Homo-oligomer: A and B are copies of this chain.
Amino acid sequence: MADELDAVVRDGQSVPDQLSMRDEDGEIRAEFVAAISKAIADENAPFLREVVSELHEADLGDLIGTLEPDERVRLVELTGTDFDFSALNEVDETVREEILDELEPETVAEGVRELDSDDAVELLQVLDEDEQEEILEKLPPSERDALERSLDYPENSAGRRMQTEFIAMPRDWNVGQAIDHMRETADLPDRFYEIYVVDGGNLWQGAVALDALLRSHRNVPLADLIDEDRRKVSVLDDQEEVARLFGKYNLVAAPVVDPDNRLVGVITIDDVVDVIEEEADEDLKALGGVTSDEELSDRVWTIARGRFNWLLVNLATAFLASSVLGLFEGQLQQMVALAVLAPIVASQGGNAATQTMTVAVRALATRELGPWNAMRVVMREALVGLVNGVGFAVITGLAAYAWFGIAGLGVVIALAMVCNLVAGALGGILIPMALDRVRADPAVASGTFVTTVTDVVGFFSFLGIATLWFGLK
């Protein structure tokens, strides 16, 4: 394949289309990457420029991910203006930062000029302020101002995500004027799905979908086509709120207004899809005890440090749970079967509680769980805990009896199982709800608290009931 590509270039033919980057399963072909690496080593700029200009930004990003760090920088340098800087938004932040740090500020500034403002902001925000400044001062003042304003909005706000290129028209225009305007204006946004109607001073009036424009005759006033169902967002709205709005009302774009109701930008669905994926990623990682900014390309040390804190909290709770076992040292010595069986009670409670917690965290995130149904859901979870608690009490009780031949041991573990599954259910629902109430992220902190509850209740109920039943001391 590498040879084929070489041959193609030597013959002066065009490079095979981008499909050859991937095999039938959509995986990147090792031969393709090897050909690119070789071309970089050979400084074969014409070949690289042709490949790069034919790849979609997303594929170009994937390609960069597979290259060695120094190859990445050389690729950007060798392909110059043919390199689409939006591809850098498709790679991990760590990689993006590395590449931007190595490139000359002039090169980055030139690349940034070609981007829509939202892509430019996404690119620049990984750099620290000095580096941003160095690049921004090489841009024309109007572009610099727009980017600086966007970068001033808080992270994760609509203002950070919006693009400042949009089409606004006065309220008294009609469809014909709107279409003529679009035909005659050279620098329209790359892609747009609706146009906005404003009055003097850019005050927001409404949105008109492109299909509404295309269905209508030239003399229909724009004001008649304003879609009342379209939602606007405010620059300071959180991106998660914005994503919820898009999902709920099936939007493809939403205008962004400042506190004075002036139209300042637009957020499009592709940004929102990114937000939805990021938020899902965050919740999933948080439940698994991983910080949301951990990336696959991070180094061992960065990752180990990031995960250490969570494990340290967990170690503390594990010692707490074991100290409950420590309270019963005498009993454990008298009846070693208790030491063997205790982890089963704790583990079963922990897993049942995790089920409840997972559902609760997700329902809180999607706003399906709220004050109006909280009581009902808590009751239901407690009942589910009771039903499964009784079920597993029978199973575990019989198994423990079969194993050790002590009937009383079966009764004790059965009673402890019911206690711990109900406690786990209550912990699994009440802890996330309480965290949500105090505006902490339930996904991040619930896990530790919940399994602490089930470990402590599991050990204590099992050994406590055993002490009473067998008269141990």
Contacts and interface: CB of A to CB of B under 8 A. Distances in A.
Interface of A: 26-28, 30, 33, 56, 58, 66, 179, 182-183, 188, 191-193, 209-211, 213-217, 229, 246-250, 252, 269-270, 272-274, 276-277, 280-281, 283-285, 287-290, 294, 296, 300-301, 303-304, 307-308, 310-312, 314-315, 318-319, 321-322, 325-326, 329, 332-333, 336-337, 339-344, 346-348, 351-352, 354-355, 357-359, 361-363, 366-373, 377, 380, 383-384, 387-388, 391-392, 395-396, 399, 403, 455
Chain copies in complex: 2
Q: Which secondary structure dominates where chain A touches chain B?
A: helix
A152 to B, nearest CB: 26
A340 B321 CA distance: 9
Given A182-B214, A308-B388, A284 B283 contact: yes
Given A58-B249, A284-B361, 8 more contacts: A56-B249, A288-B359, A310-B351, A311-B355, A314-B347, A314-B348, A325-B339, A343-B455
A116 to B, nearest CB: 11
A59 to B, nearest CB: 8
B355 A307 contact: yes
B388 A311 contact: yes
A188 B210 contact: no
Residue among A193, A217, A311, A455 with the most chain B CB within 10 A?
A: A311
Contacts of A372: 27-28, 30, 33, 66
A192 B216 contact: no
Nearest to A313: B351
B326 A340 contact: yes
A250 B384 CA distance: 42
A210 B194 CA distance: 10
A347 B320 CA distance: 12
Given A252-B269, A300-B380, A387-B304, A285 B362 contact: yes
